[in-house]
Structure 1
Amino acid sequence: MNFKKIAMLCFVLLMAGMTAYAQSDITGKWAATLAGPQGEMELIFNYKVDKGIVTGTIGSQMGEIALKNGKIEGEKFSYDFAFQNMTFKHNGEQISENEIVVKSERGEMKLTRVKE
């Protein structure tokens, strides 16, 4: 192999490693508290990321709702969920290893990673 081929191979491997590192790891359980008319409600978000696709559920004492149309790019991700014949769109960003901010047309929520 000549020097140019070796240099190109090193560059490709470096870029592949950086791409894998740049992907957020939001897989796992996250918690948030939502204030409502009848008091506070704890929400549990279970995310799973596989090949750029986000799946999972949002749960509360009222049950669980499946996430749809989830995707992730770098630190940012998005998904939808349906509740009472309405679809809610969410956009999120991982701020740190243990903190996510999720935004929708109804406002913003901070999620914290649940240590298991």
Structure 2
Amino acid sequence: MKKKFTMAALLVCCVVAAFAAFADLTGKWKGTLKFDDFELPLTYTFKVDGEKLTGSIGSDQGENPISEGKIKGADFSFTLDFNGEKIPHTGKYYGDSTIVFSEFQGQKNRVKLTRAQ
């Protein structure tokens, strides 16, 4: 009996921890997109609702909404429409940081995000 209760309690803790991880991605994140000699500071705003991810990416040039956002565990994906071109993004949430990968015009990009203050 104790073994079944312990297993059930462990399962409940794992589910609660998974939902806490989803909630932690919600908020503002900052990072810098670097390519060649150019650096572009970016602000990502994420909102998690179940397995749905919404939000936007902003810079000093404006803000673009993300679409087709999904999150499962620590992995997430979304699409950014930039001047009519859809740019797929994937990412991984690490708690205190987040890594976002994308490919634009043949160039692979990686942006490390930290929580915005």
TM-score by length of 1: 0.80
The CA RMSD over aligned residues, in Å, is: 2.3
- Kindly name which structure, 1 or 2, has the bigger radius of gyration based on alpha carbons: 1
Unaligned runs of 5+ in 1: none
Partner of 1:19 in structure 2?
A: 15
Partner SS, residue 19 of structure 1: helix
User: Counterparts of 1:36-55 in structure 2 under 5 Å?
Assistant: 36=35, 39-55=38-54
Unaligned runs of 5+ in 2: none
Contact 2:33 2:110 survives alignment (8 Å): no
Partner of 1:68 in structure 2?
A: 67
Q: CA deviation at 1:107?
A: 2.0
TM-score by length of 2: 0.79
Partner of 1:114 in structure 2?
A: 116
Q: CA deviation at 1:66?
A: 0.4
Give the distance between the partners of 1:53 and 1:8, measured in 2 at CA.
33
Structure 1 moving runs of 4+ over 3 Å: 6-14, 36-39
Identical pairs, percent = 34
Q: CA deviation at 1:14?
A: 4.2
Q: How many residues align?
A: 110
